[in-house]
Amino acid sequence: MSVVNWSRQGAVAVVSFDNGENRHNPAFVNDFLDTMASVEADVEVQAVVLTSSDLKNWSLGIDLAWISTASADRSRHDEVRSFLKGLNDVYARVLTFPTPVIAAIGGHAFGGGAILACACDYRLMRSDRGFFCFPEVDVNIPFLPGMLAIVQRAVPAWVLDDIYLSGRRLGGAEVVEKHIGSMAYEGVEALQTGALALAGSFNKGRAVFGEIKRRKHSHILKILREDDAPYIERLALVAK
């Protein structure tokens, strides 16, 4: 069974993360990329909403248990490298997708989950539940250069200095107050309604929309493609 699924509501594709904590591992990467390919193939889709079927978590980011086990086994190092390259493909897919991509954050977005939200064009969140957080400083795993570039596009510099260095959690209202997100809603139904309303307001040509996003994010795409490569090759994921 796929851990990422989608359905269409009018011209809006609702992409659902369906694996509880929705941690990023090879299954998530493969299913996400396959799902987004299917969404793009549907020419009726004018916008995408990323949501979660779990009311507690939107995405808790990289599957630390999986990557720790795989990294400790030399015979699986190529598997880890492939996963990290695939995760960059996930980010690049969102950054260049030829429609708006809206993160409807109905629960916790931690680490890689928060990074994925930062790759989206809009971030909406619940005000009554869930935290947005970069806990990398506490789990001894710094951002790869591409991850940092993605976060910098969405988080004001002075805010990033605070939350990246401290690992402090932000609730939905503070995410909006600090200009990381566009709107916070009380309750999951209000969040979903708001996300669908925003998504439904778009009817732009895919060719120009995609080209605008590619040009806008060309520097991030270059970092993902080139600057991350030596870190991934050396599996330099943990601070020494």
Confidence class for position 141, pLDDT limits 50, 70, 90: confident
CA 187: distance to chain centroid? 21
Q: State how far the Cα of 68 lies from the Cα of 153, in Å rounded to an integer.
A: 29
Confidence class for position 238, pLDDT limits 50, 70, 90: low
pLDDT at residue 228, rounded to an integer: 97
Inter-residue contact 46 to 11 (CB < 8 Å): yes
Q: How far is CA 61 from CA 34, 124, 187, in A?
A: 19, 18, 23
All domains in the chain, ordered by first residue:
4-200 (3.90.226.10)
Q: For residue 240, is pLDDT > 50? A: no
| Digit-coded pLDDT (tens) for 35-50 | 999 999 999 999 999 9
| Digit-coded pLDDT (tens) for 208-229 | 999 999 999 999 999 999 999 9
| Digit-coded pLDDT (tens) for 192-204 | 999 999 999 999 9
Query: What is the DSSP track for 93-136?
Result: HHHH-SS-EEEEE-SEEETHHHHHHHHSSEEEEESSS-EEE-TH
Stated pTM of the model:
0.96
